Amino acid sequence: MKSLRYEKMNGRSIRIHRIPAAIVAILVICLLIYLCNTDEEQQPAMYGMLRNQNKVNMRKLLIGSIQAAQRGGLEILSVARTRNLKERSKGKTDEGANDPFTDADARSHCVMKHGLQRIFPRIQIFSEEDKEQCNEANTFDLDPTVLHETAKIPDELINISDVTVWIDPLDATQEFTEQLYEYVTTMVCVAVRGKPVIGVIHSPFIGQTAWAWIDRSMSEYLATIIAGEHDTSNPIITVSRSHAGDVKDLVRAVFGEKSNILTAAGAGYKVLQVASNNATAYLHSTKIKKWDICAGDAILRALGGTMTTLDNKLIDYGRGESPVNARGLLATVVQHDQYIEKLMTYRENQKTKQR
Ligand SMILES: *[C@@H]1O[C@H](CO)[C@@H](O)[C@H](O)[C@H]1NC(C)=O
Ligand SMILES: *[C@@H]1O[C@H](CO)[C@@H](O)[C@H](O)[C@H]1NC(C)=O
């Protein structure tokens, strides 16, 4: 074995074997890199440490998003079981309806937001209940078994600064307080450079999670419902039960007196009605918050569908944007062009009349 000879101060020499020394040095470097590499990526040490430190693995973010929605759902179920919702009001919506808030909203928010933020500390997350203080929030660790066994999910790294996450800890709170539980959902959406890419809509009382990662994979539940044909001969428009008056008039004016209207609650629930062909379009004519619609936007896109404002613009979910979409909503799986054209023509005519 080759060795190096060093002269020590006192004149005696020691031998250091080159190969064992190199092994020790490599091990020390590995350990240092491993210790430094504590960001959310947890990439194999050594490999691409510097290159990946500003990236997030979308597969992990998908798994975390599904878990967050399901954990939020568990909090909601547990508050519902106690029947002690501690309901209070956040004020009035723009339509003048009461905007309620319960312990279920708070507990779901805390586990969803803080659970995700703990695993992905540098990602920008917006939640409907960001004002809420979370003292001892439950958390969770990533559990890939939330994906079905046949799901093929690639590891894909995306710049963290391009990612925004939108959380709705409890959609349809009003209906939750009325025990109309089927409408209640929890939602998580991941947008990349403002475009919705991953959507999760979890229905805790039905025990169903619909999720999609556009062009990559989707939940078994969504995969089975898209297998059905989309019947377009008979328009069925789903609208909100809480401010149905105006929007029902709009539907009849635009699509005819005999239009079929499905009144329902919760933007998440309504998107699922469109996804599953129980409705052919979802129409909303007033302001709506982005955490209400981002996950549905991603899921509909994954099914080949479209969600736009009433002036046919895509909605931007980037970090610099306002959390409010003030320009209404039309969501479909097929024939978006035909619906939007009728709507825009009608609105154009209304404007001309007013002049
Ligand atoms: C990520 O960000 C870096 C630096 O800001 C940029 O050079 C690179 O093109 C970005 N990568 C992607 C996939 O957007
Ligand atoms: C669609 O309607 C059918 C029949 O009413 C119902 O069983 C099903 O749950 C609905 N789908 C969704 C997503 O609610």
197 CB within 6 A, ligand 2: no
Q: How confident is the model at residue 1 (pLDDT cuts 50, 70, 90)?
A: very low
**Six-digit token string for 109:** 């928010």
Distance CA 109, CA 310 (A): 30
What's the gap in Å between 30 CA and the centre of ligand 1? 27
Contact predicate 288/187, CB 8 Å: no
- 276 ligand 2 Cβ < 6 A: yes
* Ligand sitting nearest the alpha carbon of 272: 2
The whole-number pLDDT of residue 5 equals 53
Q: Which atom of ligand 2 is nearest to the CA of 276?
A: 13
| pLDDT attached to residue 41 | 47
Ligand 1 centroid distance, CA of 215 (Å): 21
| pLDDT score recorded for residue 227 | 56
pTM of the predicted structure, to 2 decimals: 0.83
In this prediction, residue 150 has a pLDDT band, given cuts at 50, 70 and 90, of confident
Sorted by where each starts, the structural domains of the chain and their CATH numbers stand as 3-51 (no CATH), 56-223 (3.30.540.10), 236-354 (3.40.190.80)
Q: How far is the CA of 216 from the centre of ligand 2 (A)?
A: 26
Question: Ligand 1 centroid vs 328 CA: distance in angstroms?
Answer: 33
| Weakest-pLDDT range from 13-27, 133-147, 297-311 | 13-27
- Residues 312-330 have a mean pLDDT of 92
Cβ of 69 closer than 6 Å to ligand 2, yes or no, is: no
Mean pLDDT of the chain: 86
Say if ligand 2 is within 6 A of residue 85 CB: no
User: Can you give the length of the chain in residues?
Assistant: 355
pLDDT tens digits for range 173-211: 999 999 999 999 999 999 999 999 999 999 999 999 999
Q: What is the pLDDT of residues 156-170, one digit of tens each?
A: 999 999 999 999 999
Shortest-distance Cα residue to atom 7 of ligand 2? 278
Confidence of residue 130 (pLDDT cuts 50, 70, 90): confident
Q: How far is 88 from 98, CA to CA, in rounded Å?
A: 10
Instruction: Specify the DSSP class assigned to residue 181.
Output: G
Q: pLDDT at position 149, please?
A: 80
Q: Which residue has the tokens 């007013």?
A: 354
Pairing verdict, β 260-264 and 288-289:
unpaired
Please compute the mean of the pLDDT values over residues 69-82 and round it to a whole number: 94
287 C-alpha to ligand 2 centroid (Å): 27
C-alpha–C-alpha distance, residues 156 and 285, integer Å: 37
Expressed in angstroms and rounded, the spacing between residue 214 Cα and the centre of ligand 1 is 21
| Ligand 2 within 6 A of CB of 272 | yes
Ligand 2 atom with the smallest distance to the CA of 272 is: 13
Ligand 2 within 6 A of CB of 93: no
Task: Tell me the ligand closest to 51's alpha carbon.
Answer: 1
Q: How far is the CA of 278 from the centre of ligand 2 (A)?
A: 6
Q: Are 191 and 320 in contact (CB under 8 A)?
A: no
pLDDT computed for residue 2 by the predictor:
47
What SS3 class is residue 320? Answer: coil
Q: What separation in angstroms does the CA of 25 have from each of 20, 22, 48?
A: 9, 5, 19
| Residue-wise pLDDT tens digits, 250-276 | 998 998 888 899 999 999 999 999 999
